[in-house]
């Protein structure tokens, strides 16, 4: 993974010093609430229901074991012994003290971590496919480009005060596992007719109150023009994006109101004037790529037969391998997901002891690295298949091996009313209830790939509008109600879910989810997935079942 | 009045003349873009120097042809969260090759001085919340940068 140079380290150290000064000025009354708000948000610090919330950047989801141990230490020392992984591969602490945040940032800086631009109206952490570099369907590893973008976005002087937040995601594989079409800019590594690899550029995607699927602004962009083209898009957005209404300030609204054609033209004109001054050299690309060189895989890892024996002997292990591990491009290796969706734990949460354990397991079995995923889990991407049994046993003992990756209980869930001051309704409680209702593993695995996303308000942090089943908490006269959508997807065939009907009451929502799953079981043809069944039969049968009972 | 210019505390006598005020015959003044466009001829014939005060909503193309020889452009930041002025500064320097003074005025924060300077702003209006020594220090908030800009 990328290792900081002296300049990288200097920059984050100076940022800590700057933020320490800002916090002191605020506490002395020299900065008012609004002024400090803009500054603290750019260091990931929110003021929440109970306490501040600090969002730490996980650059494109890649973390070293040393960094995990630091996250654990911070959880113990400054928080309540746990932290939370987000859909954008970041880490959140829910209980830090405002006056201690500069100290936390200083500790993070010791392990090349920071909270820069994890919030605020600026360019955010760039996200990517958690299986980058190891998946079989990859055109090229996107991580070097993510790092190049990370550096370019960090403290960009011209774009620190955009109309609204700005998110970039990069995918290097045929299968989009990074929800790129729902980002302000989505980048797909693609090969053109001449066999050159470049980027297909999407613009104007986004979730939240107005979900929009990104559109192609440039079908093929040469790698050397990556930064100049990004700069052109962001400059046009900075100059012309709406600033009169924060709900209409994202680039998706600009693209929608002005039209893709006009925005494409404006960006092109801007880019033509700037592209020669910001060209990426081959040397620069190669030097960053070298930092993501493959680890020293064993060439005969696939030859050991003990893995197959274990699969035969131990059905629980076989189930976990089937559900929680993914193919690897190197024979004899697999990527092993660590489920942060145990039935009784809030989705995405992890304790300090679990973090320390994962760090040790990463050192022993996966070259000392771990990735966070868009669906709020972790993954050890380079595990020898002969090590999987021991890995599973240790994960299982720490409640990190629930075999539910990609299933209906691998729920994306925001902190909801329990923690967030914006929320209208609880989401963690609903998730727990659905988990309890779907506790039969055979049934769960028979349902197959079902993505349930639950957000506690229309800001949609849990991306409910692209859940196969989306659940959105709404406030009705002080009570928590839930709207349901079906058929959303953030993958290649991107789609926004259709609303099923009126919101249902809190005590009815789990029953409604069960009804939806029952209809799927009845309607599906052979091994047809949930999403395909919804597409084929439409929402009517689901609607009839859900509202017949309520 | 003191300002920061070229990283030094400097005495300054420029005055902004609002659209409803009479133009003085002498002294150095700045005026709005609309006033400039309407009264360009008379403004260039007066005794003192005349510069421009550009709001974040103004279009730079409108004054692009007048920038050569312009002594001062003030970027009027109405709200510190309005980042258009940063792009305007960058465009003035890189696109329009403006070499005169660009001064940040209005409601910006000390914490933005480093960014403003990088995008091409070389002078800073001060006030109660922006003391000269703090503003000077802010120019050095960071000693490294990842991306090219003007500075």
pLDDT one-digit tens code per residue, A183-219: 999 999 999 999 999 999 999 999 988 999 999 999 9
Question: Tens digits of per-residue pLDDT, A51-97?
Answer: 789 999 999 999 999 999 999 999 999 999 999 999 989 999 988 99
Question: What is the rounded CA–CA span in Å between residue A352 and residue A91?
Answer: 13
Stretch A390-409: mean pLDDT: 97
Q: What is the pLDDT of residue A420?
A: 83
Stretch A404-427: mean pLDDT: 91
Report CA-CA distances (Å) from A98 to A42, A58, A118, A518. 15, 21, 17, 48
Q: What is the pLDDT of residue A549?
A: 61
- Count of Cβ atoms closer than 10 Å to residue A296 Cβ: 7
- Name the CATH superfamily for A412-548: Sulfite Reductase Hemoprotein, domain 1 (3.30.413.10)
DSSP H or E run through B32: strand B29-32
Residue A136 has pLDDT above 90, yes or no: yes
Question: Tens digits of per-residue pLDDT, A472-529?
Answer: 999 999 999 999 999 999 999 999 999 999 999 999 999 999 999 999 999 999 999 9
Q: Which of A95, A19, A90, A83 minimizes the C-alpha distance to A59?
A: A90
- Per the DSSP assignment, residues forming a β-bridge with A384 are A333
Q: What is the pLDDT of residue A305?
A: 84
Question: What is the rounded CA–CA span in Å between residue A428 and residue A121?
Answer: 27
Count residue pairs from A and B with Cβ separation < 8 A.
84
Stretch A347-376: mean pLDDT: 97
Residue B150 lies inside a defined structural domain of this protein: no
Q: What is the pLDDT of residue A550?
A: 58
Question: Where residue B104 sits, what CATH number does that domain have?
Answer: 3.20.20.70
Mean of pLDDT over chain B: 96
* CB A471, CB A460: distance < 8 Å: no
Residue B48 lies inside a defined structural domain of this protein: yes
Residue B16 lies inside a defined structural domain of this protein: yes
Stretch B84-99: mean pLDDT: 97
Taking only residues 57 to 76 of chain B, the set having a beta carbon closer than 8 angstroms to any beta carbon of chain A reads: none
For residue A49, name the pLDDT band (cuts at 50, 70, 90).
low
* CATH topology assigned to domain A306-397: Sulfite Reductase Hemoprotein; domain 2 (3.90.480)
What residue in A sits closest to B129 (Cα-Cα)?
A30
Beta strand A62-64 with B29-32: parallel, antiparallel or unpaired? unpaired
Beta strand A52-56 with A91-93: parallel, antiparallel or unpaired? antiparallel
* CB A439, CB A514: distance < 8 Å: no
Question: What is the rounded CA–CA span in Å between residue A307 and residue A470?
Answer: 38
Q: Domain A134-290: give its CATH architecture.
A: 2-Layer Sandwich (3.30)
Question: What is the rounded CA–CA span in Å between residue A432 and residue A409?
Answer: 9
Q: Which of A27-36, A318-327, A352-361 has the lowest mean pLDDT?
A: A27-36
* CB A438, CB A409: distance < 8 Å: yes
Query: CB of B118 within 8 Å of any CB in chain A?
Result: yes
Report CA-CA distances (Å) from A217 to A187, A196, A204, A220, A268. 10, 19, 9, 9, 10
Residue B40 lies inside a defined structural domain of this protein: yes
Q: What is the pLDDT of residue A302?
A: 85
What residue in A sits closest to B83 (Cα-Cα)?
A161
Q: Which CATH number applies to A6-110?
A: 3.90.480.20
User: Who among A121, A238, A243 is closest to B87 (CB)?
Assistant: A238
- Per the DSSP assignment, residues forming a β-bridge with A462 are none
* CB A485, CB A467: distance < 8 Å: yes
Stretch A353-365: mean pLDDT: 98
User: Who among B83, B142, B143 is closest to A159 (CB)?
Assistant: B83
Task: Give the start-to-end residue ranges of the domains of chain A.
Answer: 6-110, 134-290, 306-397, 412-548
Whole-model pTM: value is: 0.96
Check if A134-290 and A412-548 are the same fold: yes
In the DSSP assignment, the letter for residue A275 is G
- Best mutation target among A161, A164, A271 (most B Cβ atoms within 10 Å) is A161
Domain containing B105 equals 2-138
For residue A344, name the pLDDT band (cuts at 50, 70, 90).
confident
DSSP H or E run through B33: helix B33-45
- As a whole-number percent, the residues of chain A with pLDDT over 90 amount to 91
Question: What is the rounded CA–CA span in Å between residue B73 and residue A350?
Answer: 53
Q: Which of A406, A391, A324 minimizes the C-alpha distance to A358?
A: A391
For A147, the token pair is 């790092």
Nearby residues of A96 by Cβ (< 8 Å), 6 or more positions away: A51, A52, A53, A54, A78, A79, A104
Complex prediction ipTM:
0.97
Residue B103 lies inside a defined structural domain of this protein: yes
Question: What is the rounded CA–CA span in Å between residue A71 and residue A353?
Answer: 11
């Amino acid at each position: 993974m990328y290792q900081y140079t002296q300049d990288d380290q200097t920059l984050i150290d100076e940022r800590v010093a700057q933020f320490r000064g800002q916090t002191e000025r605020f506490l002395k009354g020299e900065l008012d609430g609004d002024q400090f708000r803009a500054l603290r948000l750019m260091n990931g610090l929110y003021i929440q229901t109970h306490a501040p919330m600090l969002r730490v950047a996980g650059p494109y989801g890649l973390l070293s074991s040393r960094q995990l141990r630091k996250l654990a230490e911070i959880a113990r020392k400054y928080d309540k012994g746990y932290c939370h992984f987000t859909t954008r591969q970041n880490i959140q602490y829910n209980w830090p003290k405002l006056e201690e945040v500069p100290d936390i940032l200083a500790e993070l800086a010791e392990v090349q971590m920071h909270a820069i631009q994890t919030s605020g109206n600026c360019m955010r952490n760039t996200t990517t496919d958690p299986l980058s570099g190891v998946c079989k369907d990859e055109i090229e590893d996107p991580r070097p480009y993510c790092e190049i973008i990370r550096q370019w976005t960090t403290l960009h002087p011209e774009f620190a005060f955009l109309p609204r937040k700005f998110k970039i995601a990069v995918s290097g594989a045929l299968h989009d596992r990074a929800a790129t079409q729902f980002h302000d800019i989505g980048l797909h590594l693609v090969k053109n007719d001449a066999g050159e690899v470049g980027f297909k550029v999407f613009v104007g995607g986004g979730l939240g109150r107005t979900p929009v699927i990104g559109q192609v602004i440039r079908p093929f962009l040469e790698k050397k023009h990556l930064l100049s083209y990004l700069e052109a898009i962001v400059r046009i957005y900075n100059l012309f994006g709406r600033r009169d209404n924060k709900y209409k300030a994202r680039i998706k609204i600009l693209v929608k109101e002005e039209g893709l054609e006009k925005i494409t033209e404006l960006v092109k004109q801007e880019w033509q004037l700037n592209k020669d001054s910001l060209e990426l050299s081959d040397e620069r690309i190669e030097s960053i790529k070298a930092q993501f060189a493959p680890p020293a895989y064993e060439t005969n890892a696939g030859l050991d037969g003990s893995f197959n024996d274990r699969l035969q002997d131990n059905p629980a292990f076989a189930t976990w391998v089937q559900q929680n591990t993914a193919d690897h491009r190197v024979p004899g290796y697999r990527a092993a997901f660590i489920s942060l969706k145990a039935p009784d734990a809030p989705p995405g949460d992890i304790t300090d002891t679990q973090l320390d354990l994962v760090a040790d397991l990463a050192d022993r079995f996966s070259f000392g690295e771990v990735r966070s995923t868009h669906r709020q889990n972790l993954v050890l991407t380079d595990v020898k298949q002969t090590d999987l049994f021991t890995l599973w046993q240790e994960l299982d003992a720490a409640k990190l091996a629930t075999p539910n990756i990609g299933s209906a209980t691998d729920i994306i869930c925001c902190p909801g009313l329990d923690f967030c001051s914006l929320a209208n309704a609880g989401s963690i409680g609903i998730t727990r209830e659905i988990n309890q209702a779907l506790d039969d593993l055979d049934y769960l695995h028979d349902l197959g790939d079902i993505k349930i996303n639950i957000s506690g308000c229309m800001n949609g942090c849990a991306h409910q509008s692209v859940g196969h089943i989306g659940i959105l908490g709404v406030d009705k006269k002080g009570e928590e109600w839930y709207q349901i959508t079906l058929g959303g997807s953030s993958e290649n065939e991107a789609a926004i879910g259709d609303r099923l009907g009126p919101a249902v009451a809190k005590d009815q929502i789990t029953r409604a989810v069960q009804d939806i799953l029952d209809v799927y079981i009845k309607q599906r043809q052979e091994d047809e997935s949930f999403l395909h069944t919804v597409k084929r039969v439409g929402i009517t049968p689901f609607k009839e079942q859900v509202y017949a009972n309520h | 009045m003191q300002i920061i210019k070229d990283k030094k505390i400097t005495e300054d006598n420029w005055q902004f003349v609002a659209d409803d005020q009479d133009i003085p015959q002498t002294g150095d003044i700045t005026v709005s873009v609309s006033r400039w466009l309407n009264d360009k001829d008379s403004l260039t014939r007066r005794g003192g120097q005349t510069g421009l005060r550009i709001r974040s909503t103004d279009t730079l193309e409108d004054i692009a042809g007048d920038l050569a020889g312009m002594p001062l452009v003030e970027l009027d930041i109405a709200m510190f969260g309005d980042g258009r002025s940063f792009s305007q500064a960058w465009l003035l320097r890189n696109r329009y090759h403006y070499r005169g003074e660009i001064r940040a005025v209005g409601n910006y924060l000390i914490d933005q001085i480093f960014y403003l300077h990088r995008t091409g702003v070389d002078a800073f209006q001060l006030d109660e919340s922006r003391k000269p020594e703090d503003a000077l220090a802010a120019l050095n908030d960071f000693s490294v940068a990842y991306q090219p800009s003007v500075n």
